Amino acid sequence: MTKIHILFVCLGNICRSPMAEYLMRDKVKKAGLQQKIETASAGTSGWNDGQDMHCGTADILDLYKISSEGFISRKVRSKDWVFFDYIIAMDDKNLQDLQSIFMQNNEKLFKITTLCPDLGVDNIPDPWYTHNFQQTYTLLDQCCDALLTKIRKKYSI
C-alpha cells in the first residue's frame, strides 16, 4: 500500500490548517500509522507564505503536548490535486476556492465538518478572528478522529 497523503486547507495557513495538520499527525503517530499516513497543510490566500504558524495555534498544540516543529506556511498549488488523496477545507469559502483552483469536485475534496454531522457547527471557526483557539482545537480534535476512522475503515488499516 502506498502512503495516504492528507492536505488540510484554510485561508492563511497559520491557524486552522496547521492545527489540523499537527493534530492529525499526532493521532496518526499514536495509532502507529505514520508509515501509512502523512499530513500537510496549505492556505488558499498565500498571504503568509514562508511564515510560522500563529502563536495561538502553537500554544494550543503545546498545551496538548503536540509537536509543531518544522512548520512553514504555503499556498495551495495546482499540483496538490495529483499528490494528495484528501484535500480538506476548513469552511465553505475555502471549499469554494479549492473547487475553483482545481476545477474538480469529487470525494477527495470536502469540508472537514462533513465528517461530524452532530458537531453543532458546519465550519471550523477561524481563531484569527474569534481568538478562541481552544474551540477550534476541540472541533478539529473530533473531526480528525472521524477522519482517521474513515481512513482506517476504507484502507483496512
Q: Is residue 15 annotated as part of the catalytic site, yes or no?
A: no
Please list the residues that pair with 10 across neighbouring strands.
43
List the catalytic residue out of 10, 15, 116, 144: 10
Q: Region of 132 please: left (phi>0), alpha (psi -120 to 50) or beta.
A: beta
What does the alpha-carbon distance between residue 97 and residue 92 come to, in Å, rounded to a whole number?
9
List the catalytic residue out of 16, 25, 91, 143: 16
List the catalytic residue out of 26, 126, 143, 144: 126
CA distances to 56, 104, 129 from 132, rounded to whole Å, are: 9, 33, 8
DSSP string, 76-135: --TTHHHH-SEEEESSHHHHHHHHHHH---STTEEEGGGG-TTSS-SS---HHHH--HHH
Q: Is residue 16 annotated as part of the catalytic site, yes or no?
A: yes
Q: Is residue 126 annotated as part of the catalytic site, yes or no?
A: yes
CA distances to 68, 71, 101, 154 from 24, rounded to whole Å, are: 12, 14, 24, 17
> Catalytic residue numbers?
10, 16, 126
